[in-house]
Amino acid sequence: MSGLLSADLPEEYLELARTVRAFATEVVAPVAHHHDQTHTFPYEVVAQMGEMGLFGLPFPEEHGGMGGDYLALCVALEELGRVDQSVAITLEAGVSLGAMPVFRFGTDEQKQRWLPDLTAGRALGAFGLTEPGAGTDAGGTRTTAVRDGDEWVINGSKQFITNSGTDITTLITVTAVTSELDGKRRISSILVPADTPGVLVEPAYDKVGWNASDTHPLTFTDVRVPVENLLGEEGRGYANFLRILDEGRIAIAALAVGAAQGCVDESIRYAGEREAFGRPIGANQAVAFRIARMEARAHTARLAYLDAARLLLAGKPFKKQAAIAKMVASEAAMDNARDATQVFGGYGFMNEFTVARHYRDSKILEIGEGTTEVQLMLIARELGLPG
């Protein structure tokens, strides 16, 4: 047996994995190609995920959550990522970038206002961090929030923002420069209701992959929100979002492992069914060894994200392990997608096959939530190397 169900995990996580796998197989997979080809958001799937409690997995019941933990979220993401990365990233971003900042840094009033709908999947939140001139260098943020009496006035633009333009998007957490200290810009996080005047959701991107995931640029023009919409301490937005990204890298790693495992599963099935020269192609050592290497990548990457998640849950430092997991898993997803496409031959180049979608979808895993180069930088820094 391969995959998450063979992992050494407590039974409650394995039961969750079985439940989400069945949902992914019976509900998500049959409509994945349609939403990918039509570039439509899978509202019906998201609604069912909300009813299952997936958006509330790592949150306490007092906020409408399921009382689980971050590892439970990762388990769900791996199983969804096996069949449809767009659906998986919708959940990952909705939890890690939408609801988690409010849970980690919000006031009691902010939590009471926003979390019940976000954790139930009735609403989605977005995290407005990346800008046209500030991606990896997020400290180069140009969006500003100026205090005017009892309001913040926000001006600027954001790009590549997931879950920012759906019909159920209700909240955007915006990072903005609120002041300067000793010549350095102080970045804060501010909660902006999506229907606030001055918030413009620009047309959706025409992407290579993740076509059923909602992604837009955002423009903020004299957007006014109350001063109490400040999330956390003023000037701590940069530090706070770094914590959010560290956690998010574990979740992205789990999603990537799902994609890598999905490529293994599809290749095993196809190699057993497809015949050439009178026997299944899986009987050929070249194909068998290729699939064996794919399984080794997925297994190794899974161990990496499980290790990082366990450190997080234990309250121990996990930055290095999260970076390792994200890098190893994203590379495994990309490499396995390439190899799976080769196993499928001409069929692997046809979009109706899952491996073709994984081939297009997986590249962004090496870019989003910190590029591979950023992960290497973080790992080197944690090792104490100079620079």
Q: What is the pLDDT of residues 147-179, one digit of tens each?
A: 999 999 999 999 999 999 999 999 999 999 998
| Superfamily covering domain 125-235 | Butyryl-CoA Dehydrogenase, subunit A, domain 2 (2.40.110.10)
pLDDT in tens, 282-327: 999 999 999 999 999 999 999 999 999 999 999 999 999 999 999 9
Round the average pLDDT of the chain to a whole number and report it: 96
Tens-place pLDDT, residues 335-377? 999 999 999 999 999 999 999 999 999 999 999 989 999 999 9
- The mean per-residue pLDDT over the stretch 224-242 comes to 93
> Could you state, in order of their start, the residue ranges of all structural domains in the chain?
4-124, 125-235, 239-382
Question: Which one of the listed residues 78, 92, 295, 369 is annotated catalytic?
Answer: 369
User: 44-84, pLDDT tens digit by residue?
Assistant: 999 999 999 999 999 999 999 999 999 999 999 999 999 99
Active-site residue flag, 233: no
- Kindly tell me if the per-residue pLDDT of 180 is higher than 90: no
Percent pLDDT > 90 in the chain is 91
Closest CA to 171 of 86, 248, 99, 90: 99
Q: Is the pLDDT of residue 232 over 70?
A: yes
**CATH architecture of the region 239-382:** Up-down Bundle (1.20)
Question: Residue 138: what pLDDT?
Answer: 67
23-28: average pLDDT: 98
Phi, psi of 96 (to 5 degrees): -70, -40
Q: What is the pLDDT of residue 365?
A: 98
Q: Span 4-124: which CATH code?
A: 1.10.540.10
To the question of pTM greater than 0.75 for the whole model, the response is yes
What average pLDDT does the segment 210-223 reach?
Answer: 98
